Homo-oligomer: A and B are copies of this chain.
């Protein structure tokens, strides 16, 4: 990692990952400062670390806090729902940045996050992917745990990859559920867990389906990486799925050991795939 080796600034959405990034950066001997987004960051998660809560629209305040705490590197981590322009209530600097974001605000989630990463880079920060810190959480292609996908599962994964890549090219979502060649559910704004639960209600008799979750093609890898945790595994099992296929090297697992334990217990497979070279 090449950087000025100042503090690591963590722009924190929801979930446990902001603290995991803080731990990893701290373990590397880096000072850490967390900016928690109001309404998204969880106080229990970021509480143990030096932090401030900020409104998403208060870009001027954010930039000065980050500079004040000596941040040279930034990581965006944890889910943030797309805000409305009205709820942003931008400060002066925020309004200036919104103007720079311009049309990206209306180009879907990925356009927005990619533009934000570009602007933070223009402001002089080195924007890092969370996976650069959480390298232990990112899987190589192959099966994790003890359950292996069979030929039918491989065929469903191949169809799922085609579907998610088509969705991703339109900046719609990162996941779908396929059962025996049939697409049961497709993810848009509702999030992966709700999509998985819905697929359970559309479940057809026969072998269970497969969740496929991937980066959008061309997605800015430093924001909104696909995330899988023990709850994903539990939800998939409850919905009658046989397994989960996710993108190797670009998926964050909130707790890899717990994911594998849950999957083995439930009898479902965890398969990290390279979507561009996956053969059923």
A residues near B (Cβ < 8 Å) are 82, 84-87, 106-109, 162-163, 166-167, 169-173, 176, 180-190, 194, 198-199, 201-202, 204-206
Using Cβ atoms and an 8 Å threshold, which residues of chain B touch A205?
84, 86-87
The 4 closest A-B pairs by CB, nearest first: A84-B205, A189-B202, A106-B181, A186-B186
Q: Assess A183 versus B108: contact at CB under 8 Å? Given A162-B170, A163-B172, A176-B188.
A: yes
Q: Return A219 CB to nearest CB of chain B, in Å.
A: 15
Check if B198 sits within 8 Å of A183, measured CB to CB.
no
* Contact of A183 (CB < 8 Å), options: B172, B184, B199: B172
Q: Assess A84 versus B183: contact at CB under 8 Å? Given A163-B172, A166-B170, A172-B163.
A: no
Check if A186 sits within 8 Å of B206, measured CB to CB.
no
Using Cβ atoms and an 8 Å threshold, which residues of chain B touch A85?
206
Q: Assess A181 versus B86: contact at CB under 8 Å? Given A186-B172, A202-B190.
A: no
Instruction: Give the complex CA separation of A166 and B107 in angstroms.
Output: 17
Instruction: Give the complex CA separation of A190 and B183 in angstroms.
Output: 10
5 sample A-B contacts, Cβ–Cβ < 8 Å, listed by A number: A82-B204, A166-B169, A171-B183, A172-B183, A172-B186
Using Cβ atoms and an 8 Å threshold, which residues of chain B touch A184?
188-189
Using Cβ atoms and an 8 Å threshold, which residues of chain B touch A188?
176, 183-186, 202
Using Cβ atoms and an 8 Å threshold, which residues of chain B touch A186?
167, 172-173, 186-188
Q: Which residue of the partner chain B has the closest CB to A112?
A: B182
Using Cβ atoms and an 8 Å threshold, which residues of chain B touch A182?
82, 106, 108-109, 189
Using Cβ atoms and an 8 Å threshold, which residues of chain B touch A166?
166-167, 169-170
Q: Return A205 CB to nearest CB of chain B, in Å.
A: 4
* 14 more A-B residue pairs beyond the given contacts A87-B205, A166-B166, A186-B188, with a C-beta to C-beta distance below 8 A: A162-B170, A166-B167, A166-B169, A166-B170, A167-B186, A170-B183, A171-B183, A172-B186, A183-B189, A184-B188, A189-B199, A190-B198, A190-B202, A194-B198
Q: Which residue of the partner chain B has the closest CB to A105?
A: B181
Q: Return A25 CB to nearest CB of chain B, in Å.
A: 33
Instruction: Give the complex CA separation of A198 and B173 in angstroms.
Output: 15
**Quick one: which of A87, A181, A186 has the most chain B CB within 10 A?**
A186
Q: Which residue of the partner chain B has the closest CB to A103?
A: B181
Check if B185 sits within 8 Å of A86, measured CB to CB.
no
Q: Return A61 CB to nearest CB of chain B, in Å.
A: 22
Q: Return A264 CB to nearest CB of chain B, in Å.
A: 28
Q: Return A82 CB to nearest CB of chain B, in Å.
A: 7
Using Cβ atoms and an 8 Å threshold, which residues of chain B touch A189?
182-185, 199, 202
Instruction: Give the complex CA separation of A47 and B169 in angstroms.
Output: 48
